[in-house]
Every structure is written in structure tokens, then in C-alpha cells.
Amino acid sequence: MNTENQSILQHHPIDIKIKLACLWVTLMFCYIYCDYFELYSTGKIEALIQGKSMLDNPNKVLMAAVMMSVPALMISLSIFLKPVINRVLNFAISLFFTCLLTMIAVSLDVATHGFYIYFAIIEIILTLFISYTAYKWPKQTPN
């Protein structure tokens, strides 16, 4: 094997803010796709047309909107916030969502569609990874 002709691919370190924002984007895509796939569940569209859904009153819709806006906002906040508050918010909010997702996953019964459980597992892993990444935020080395 001729090693002279082999090239080594360059790897640039990715800023932690970009990593966190990308993780939040991935989490949001999982939320959106899970909700989208739910529309294919038997009887779901008919139930929505008849006004029979989990979000059957304005207060529940507002609560869902608030809960879903937090991860969406964390995408931009992960880029724009100063490191100290950024680290604390990413760590705390992702742990909160890990607990929330775990409670939801545990409450799913065996008859639940497999995609719910699949997405719940991915979302838990993602939120734990966000917590870990924020916790391991690199320290600045003194000059």
C-alpha cells in the first residue's frame, strides 16, 4: 500500500455553541416528525376534525406552545448568549426536558405506536447529550 498518495482529511474543531444549537435543531426535528407521523395514526384526522384531541382547550394549546417554544428558542440562545448563562441554561433546560420526556415515555403503554417510543428514546438521548455537552463546556486557558 502506497502511503505517499494517501491524504489525511482535515478536521476542524466545532465551536461548542454551534454543537449545542445543532443538537437543539435535531431535537426539534424529532418533535416535528413525531407529531407529523402521529397524523397517520388511525382515526387521528377524524378526531381532530371533530375537536377531539389532547389539546382540546385554549389553555392546553398555550401550555403546549410554551413547552415547544423553549427548545426552539434554545437554538438561537445557544449561539447568542454569553458562555456562563449559556452553559447553565443548556444544562438546566435539557435536563428538565430529559425528565419530561422520560415521564412521557414511561407513561406510554405497550399498545402505543412504535414510532412514539422510538422518538422518545432519541429525544431522551439528545437532551442528555445536550446536558453533557453543556456540562463539559471547555474552559479558557490563561495566556
Model pLDDT, residue 122: 94
At 52-63, the pLDDT tens digits run 877 788 888 898
Higher pLDDT, 68 or 4: 68
More confident residue, 93 or 141: 93
Q: b/e map of 15-46 (b: 16 or more CB within 10 Å)?
A: ebbebbbebbebbbebbeebeeeeeeeeeeee
Cα 7 from Cα 108, distance rounded (Å): 50
| Entry field: residues in the chain | 143
Cβ neighbours of residue 102 under 8 Å, at least 6 residues apart? Answer: 124
